[in-house]
Amino acid sequence: MSESLFSAAGTDRQTIEQLRQIFKTRKRGEVPLAFVHTYGCQQNVADSEHIQGMLLQMGFAFTQDAEQADLILFNTCAIREHAEDRVFGNVGALKNLKRRCPEVLIVLCGCMMEQEHVAERIKKSYPYVSLVFGPHQIPNFPKLLFTCVTQHERVFARGGETGEVPEGLPIRREGRFKAWLSVMYGCDNFCSYCIVPYVRGRERSRNPQAVLSEFRGLVEAGYKDITLLGQNVNSYGKKPDYGVNFAQLLRMLDEVPGDYRIRFMTSHPKDCTRELLDTMAGSTHIAHHLHLPFQSGNDRILKEMNRHYDRAKYLELVSYARRVMPDISLTSDVIVGFPGETYEEFLDTVSLIQEVEFTSLFTFIYSPRRGTRAASMPDPVPAKEKSRWFQELCKAQEAVAARRCAAAVGTVQRVLVEEEIPKKGLLTGRTGGNVVVDFPGDPALCGTFQHVRITNARNWILTGELVPPAGD
C-alpha cells in the first residue's frame, strides 16, 4: 500500500454515492458495518456523531463489535497521556484482525492525529492504519476515504484550519433524549499544560442563527436535555463579531417554546460574567448547573498555568452565582501535581474544595503534553507522592459530596428520566444540578421530566420515589 499526503476541501453527493456503491461490494455481511469508538470530551462525541452521519449516508449500519466491522474508526483524545496509551494499545490489538480480513479499513482521527510525533509513529509502526485525519478535516472525511479505497493509498490529512465553521454536516445522534450542540470550536487561552489550542485551533464561533435553527430542530424532535459545547463556551461571539455574546445567545435559545433543559460546557472563569450568571438565574430552561474549572486553589500555580484569574476572583464568581441562584450545582476540573507544585500549595486546592463544596469534581494527576510550556518545567515531585496527594484530594471531595447529597434528602427534584436499570428494577435520571437519581417507576417514563422526592443519599448518587402529579 503506497502512502500519500492529502489535502481536500468539502464533500459532495457524488463522492457519497460512489462510496455507497464501493462498500456494497466490500462488505462482509448483508450491509457494510462501521465500528466507531470515541475517546475524550463531549466535543469529540459531537464530532463522532457527524462522522457517523456521513457513514450513514454511505450506506453503513453500526456495530458494537469491531470483529464484525468493515470499517473501524477511533476518534482520539490528546488531553492526557493515559488516553493516548489506550488508543495505541487498542490499535495494536487490531493487527491480527487486519491480517485475517485485509479489506477492513482502520481509521484514526481526532486530536491525537494533529500531533506530528503521533502521526509519524502511526506511519512507521502501524502500517495497517489506512486513514489518519485531524479535527479540521472532518468535513472532508468522505473524500479522504474515497482516496483510500480507490487509490489504495494510506492517507494522512492533518492541519487545514481555515477559520471557518462548517455548517450542514450530516449527523447521527447517539442519544434519544439528550443532545450535544456545538456552538464554537477551538481555544485562544493557551493554558501552559494544555494541548487543545494546538490541536483544535483558534476560537471560531458559529453563526447564532445557525445555532438557533439547529436548537429549534432538536426541541421539535423531542430532545429534553441539550448541552451547548465549546472548548471555552463563554467566549462565544468574540470573533467574528456577530453582535451576540454567549449570554445573549442563551437568552435567544431560552425563548424557544418547549419542555426542555439547556446546559453548557466548558466555561473558563476568566470569561464567566455576571451577565451570564444573571441570564441563568432569570431563564426558563437553563439548568442551574455550572461547570467552572478552577484547576488549582493556589495563586502562584494559577499564574504558572496561565489561567488569568486568581483564587479571590474565582471565589467571587462562586459567591455571586450562589447569590442569584441559591440552588446552583457547581462542578469543576482539578489538576494535582502541576510541575513545581509543593504540598503546601496543593493544600490550597483542598481548602478551596472544602470552601466551595462542589457537587462533583473531575480530578486528574498532571500529564505532560509535548509542545506545551509546562512540559519543559522542572517537576521534582515523584509520581508516588502525587498519587498520595490525589487520594487525599479525592477523600476530601467525597466528604463534601456526601454532605451535599445528604442535604438533598427530603427535597423534591425535577428529574429527566434517562433509562431503566433492569438489574436493579429502577429508573435513573439526572436533576437540573446534574446529580444522578435512581427510583422505581414505569420504563415508559423514559424521556420525560418527573418530580422525585429524595429519600436517601450515598455519596454522589441519590435515591428517591416518584411524586404523583397534582390531582392523582
Taking alpha carbons only, the member of 211, 125, 130 closest to residue 165 is 211
Contact (Cβ atoms closer than 8 angstroms) between residue 400 and residue 358: yes
Question: Which of 287, 320, 342 finishes a domain?
Answer: 287
- Report the predicted TM-score, pTM, of the whole model to 2 decimal places: 0.94
Residues 105 and 7 in one domain: yes
* DSSP string over 38-70: E-SSHHHHHHHHHHHHHHHHTT-EE-S-GGG-S
pLDDT of the residue at 270: 95
**What pLDDT score does 162 carry?**
82
Indicate if 17 and 101 belong to the same structural domain: yes
pLDDT tens digits, 69-78: 999 999 999 9
For residues 106 and 185, membership in a common domain is answered with: no
- Asked, for residue 145, whether it belongs to a domain, the answer is yes
How many domains does the chain divide into?
Answer: 3
Residue 62 lies in a domain: yes
- For residues 282 and 149, state if they share a domain: no
- Condensed to tens digits (0 to 9), the pLDDT of residues 103-153 reads 999 999 999 999 999 999 999 999 999 999 999 999 999 999 999 999 989
Provide, rounded to the nearest whole percent, the portion of the chain with pLDDT above 90.
Answer: 89
Choose one of 233, 263, 287: the last residue of a domain.
Answer: 287
198 and 61 in a common domain: no
Q: What is the pLDDT of residue 226?
A: 98
151 and 207 fall within a common domain: no
User: What's the chain's Rg over C-alpha atoms?
Assistant: 23
> In the predicted model, is pLDDT for residue 10 greater than 50?
no
422: three-class secondary structure by DSSP: coil
Percent of the chain with pLDDT over 70: 97
Q: CATH no. for residue 88?
A: 3.40.50.12160
Asked if residue 127 and residue 188 are part of one domain, the reply reads no
| Together in a domain, 153 and 180 | no
Supply the pLDDT for residue 203: 94
> Across residues 217-230, what is the average pLDDT?
97
pLDDT at position 5 over 90: no
> Which candidate, 210, 206, 190, places its Cα nearest to that of 198?
190
- Residue 411 preceded by cis peptide, ω within 30: no
The verdict on residue 70 lying in a domain is: yes
| Residues contacting residue 17 through CB under 8 Å, at least 6 positions apart | none
Q: What are phi and psi of 293, to 5 degrees?
A: -60, 125
pLDDT band at 471 (very low <50, low <70, confident <90, very high): low
**In which residue are the cell numbers 437519581 written?**
437
Q: What is the mean pLDDT of the chain?
A: 94
205 plus 283 within the same structural domain: yes
Which one-letter amino acid corresponds to residue 39? Y
238 band by pLDDT with thresholds 50, 70 and 90: confident
Neighbouring C-beta atoms of residue 324, cutoff 10 Å: 15
Task: Give the residue from 389, 376, 230 showing the smallest Cα distance to 298.
Answer: 389
User: Do 183 and 153 belong to one domain?
Assistant: no
What distance separates the 2 farthest-apart alpha carbons in the chain?
72
| pLDDT band for position 192 (cuts 50, 70, 90) | very high
Separation between Cα atoms, residue 173 and residue 183, nearest integer Å: 16
* Domain finish residue from 250, 266, 287: 287
Give pLDDT, residue 472: 52
Overall average pLDDT of the 191-209 stretch: 95
CA–CA dist 323, 355 (Å, integer): 15
Reported confidence tier of residue 7, pLDDT bands at 50, 70, 90: very low
Q: Measuring CA to CA, which residue among 92, 138, 89, 91 is closest to residue 111?
A: 138
Is the pLDDT reported for residue 8 higher than 70? no
Pick the range with the lowest mean pLDDT from 42-56, 154-168, 215-229, 256-270: 154-168
Domain region containing 29: 2-157
- The answer to whether 249 and 205 are in contact (CB under 8 A) is no
Determine, yes or no, domain membership for 293.
no
Is position 344 within any domain? no
Same domain? 202 vs 153: no
Long-range (24+ apart) CB contacts under 8 A made by 84-93 are 84/112, 84/118, 86/39, 87/39, 87/112, 88/121, 90/37, 91/122, 91/126, 91/129, 92/126
Pick the range with the lowest mean pLDDT from 194-203, 236-245, 428-437: 236-245
What CATH number does the domain containing 194 carry? 3.30.750.210
On whether both 144 and 231 belong to a single domain, the answer is: no
pLDDT of residue 470: 67
Check residue 460 and give its pLDDT: 74
Q: What is the pLDDT of residues 249-301, one digit of tens each?
A: 999 999 999 999 999 999 999 999 999 999 999 999 999 999 999 999 999 99
Q: 28-63: buried (b, 16+ CB within 10 Å) or exposed (e) per residue?
A: eeeebbbbbebbbbebbbbbbbbbbebbebbbbeeb
141-151 vs 42-57: helix crossing angle, rounded to 10: 50
| 28, part of any domain | yes
- Classify residue 78: in a domain, yes or no: yes
- A 10 A CB-CB count for 185 gives 23
Q: 383-408 vs 343-356: helix axis angle to the nearest 10?
A: 10
| pLDDT confidence of residue 82 | 85
CB 369 within 8 A of CB 78: yes
Q: Report yes or no on 403 lying in a domain.
A: no
For range 410-422, the mean pLDDT: 96
CATH of the domain at 456: 2.40.50.140
